[in-house]
Amino acid sequence: MRHCFSSNLKLTRVIFAVLLTGCVLATSLASCAHKVSKTHSLFITMKDGVKLAADVHLPEDLAAEGNVPALLYQTRYWRSYSSHRSQAGGRRNSLLTAIDKLFLINGYAVVKVDVRGTGASYGFRRVEYGPVEVLDGYDIVEWIVQQPWSNGKVGSYGISYTGTTAEFLSANEHPAVKAAILGWSDFDAYKSPVKPYGMQSDGFLKKWSQYLDSLDGNNMEGRSVRPVDADRYGAMLSDAVAQHSENVDVYKAFSPITFRDTSDRDSDISFHVASSLYWREKIENSGVAMFVMASWLDAGVADGALLRYNNYRNPQKLWILATSHGGRHHASPYVVSNRALDPIPSRMDQWRKALDFLNHYLKGMANGVDKWPAITYFNLAEEIFKETDVWPPKGTKKIRMFMREGNRLSFKPPEDKIGEDSYTINFEVTTGSYSRWMTQMGTPVLYLNSRNEMDTKMLTFTSQPLAADLQITGYPVITLYVKSTHSDGAFLVYLEDVFENGKSVYINEGGLRAIHRKVSKNPYVNQETPYHSFAERDAMPLVPGEMAELTFELHPTSVLIKKGHKIRVAIAGADKGNFNRIPAQGTPTITLARNKKYSSFIALPVSERNADSLE
């Protein structure tokens, strides 16, 4: 039997409400409460005989409405649950989130399914987002369109894991599927959130794995997954949960994997098979329209959203916010410090916009969705939204800022033949437990508004005060020429805004494990940044004492650096609590070159309007 992680029940209880629904909406949507005329909970049988548990919710006015489109929600985190006791002393069911209710009162059927090997569904899973799970979507849609209440049109929606299943549903190329809401979804699970920069997102992965184990064993404190209606005494639920004991332990399965092309030993499936890129041709052929919500501060979801937009033929509208995972809290370090703030826009407005998108593609409403800008994105510091139909936006150029003597960052390249800085890795450097990586577990993004103390533990280079405002929008790219005392190491780079009073604010970050430094052509999509395959065949250990070039992108961002502020680049070799230690043993010392032959620099995507007046 699987270990139930009883010591982690408190943890799972705290985050349960967030991840069960992909971040439940704030109480502002409580006004959407709606009586559902009929809710069925039943099994849908797949082609191979495996039964998946589903809740079917129909709008109250279905008789007057006639047949309606359906919205499918395929979840890893239980479609619904029962509390063992409510405050009144009896059992309480949680069937619908505020998002679901919003859709119901606007004339949609809502179908929520426990994916294979989870919740009350039968089967087991050797991998997350596996091909069998994806292909189950076809059978579910086939069942939906055969129901007497269905008008033959289906959409999908979700946040986080369920946002990814919403995209993968289109890979089945079922003609009934017309639109998908992709909220903070995974595009390439290797790069985000499991192995960012070729390292392991250890803090996130441990907590996520423990949480999944409790879910799969039906070991959540005070809650139990809801059985289907026909299972009055829970016998079928017990049988299904017993099958889940064969599920893979995510942390144990992923931890030994270094390379993107390495197959999991239990499933023989690599990270690539569990990514959107693997299904690209089928997703494009489906023609499914996508409304994609992401955030500059949430793991790598914005990067995935932009890669999809620039490469997939599907009709797409992007909304890139400055929120925590799932759009739950505002995350801009320019206004957020040590406590969570309401998101911008509100959760109500986020999902009203998604509803408009669905109404256009599933109900044919002429509501202006076709005239929306392709990309709406939040500009940090200015704290407003901007719009563009191309990425990067028109009028963007790259300028270089060079590492110079005296820890300076300059628009002028070095002219000296000799110049270098030595830095011994400080493994206490961290972005904390409320970082862009831990927000994937439902936490807000906090404590990034003042990085001064952490800057003292890193190798930093800071510019002179800017002579004019500087608009940065896109992917910064760093090029480092380094020597190391070790054959491997983590290279993490932070872009910061230093205020006139000296306060240093985190903007974004990038990184690369040294053995993955080989740059090649991306075989899957076109991209504007250096491509690293993270494949075993391309591994290049450092030769201690020899010069090596590392060039890699930082996460995309959009920020206004104001006149009089300074730009800082901070270089580290660790992010304690977020990434595993590289190397596992020993403490590397790196030597960074900053001379005429080896000019380390950062290339910033900036607005042409003020680029020439900076220095």
Statement: residue 13 has pLDDT above 60: no
61 pLDDT band (50/70/90 cuts)? confident
Report pLDDT for 108. Answer: 96
Strand partners, 182: 158, 292
93 pLDDT band (50/70/90 cuts)? low
Q: Could you tell me which of 603, 606, 481, 593 has the C-alpha nearest to residue 530?
A: 603
The number of CA neighbours under 13 Å toward the Cβ of 530 is 21
Report pLDDT for 39. Answer: 87
Strands 150-159 and 177-183, bridge-based pairing: parallel
**What separation in angstroms does the CA of 530 have from each of 9, 121, 426, 475, 553?**
42, 42, 27, 10, 7
Strands ordered across the beta sheet of 223-225:
92-94, 81-83, 223-225
**Residues with catalytic annotation?**
160, 298, 325
Q: How far is 92 from 83, CA to CA, in rounded Å?
A: 5
Q: How far is 34 from 13, CA to CA, in rounded Å?
A: 27
Q: What is the mean pLDDT of residues 395-417?
A: 97
* Residue 89 CB neighbours (<10 A): 6
Please check whether residue 217 is in contact with residue 244, taking contact to mean a CB–CB distance below 8 angstroms.
yes
Q: How far is 324 from 576, CA to CA, in rounded Å?
A: 20
Report the greatest alpha carbon distance in the chain. Answer: 81
Under 8 Å CB-to-CB from 482, ≥6 apart: which residues?
Answer: 491, 547, 548, 550, 590, 591, 592, 593, 600
Per-residue pLDDT reduced to its tens digit, 415-452: 999 999 999 999 999 999 999 999 999 999 999 999 99
Report pLDDT for 90. Answer: 44
Domains of the chain (ranges; CATH) run 6-388 (3.40.50.1820), 396-611 (2.60.120.260)
Residue 275 tokens read as 């990514």
Statement: residue 615 has pLDDT above 90: no
Supply the DSSP symbol for 444. Answer: P
- pTM of the complete model beyond 0.85: yes
Report pLDDT for 515. Answer: 98
Amino acid letter, residue 355 = L
Q: What phi and psi values does residue 305 have, to the nearest 5 degrees?
A: -65, -40
Least confident of 19-28, 127-136, 264-273, 372-381: 19-28
- Among residues of the chain, what percentage have pLDDT more than 90? 87
Please check whether residue 196 is in contact with residue 63, taking contact to mean a CB–CB distance below 8 angstroms.
no
Residue 572 tokens read as 């580290």
Report pLDDT for 4. Answer: 34
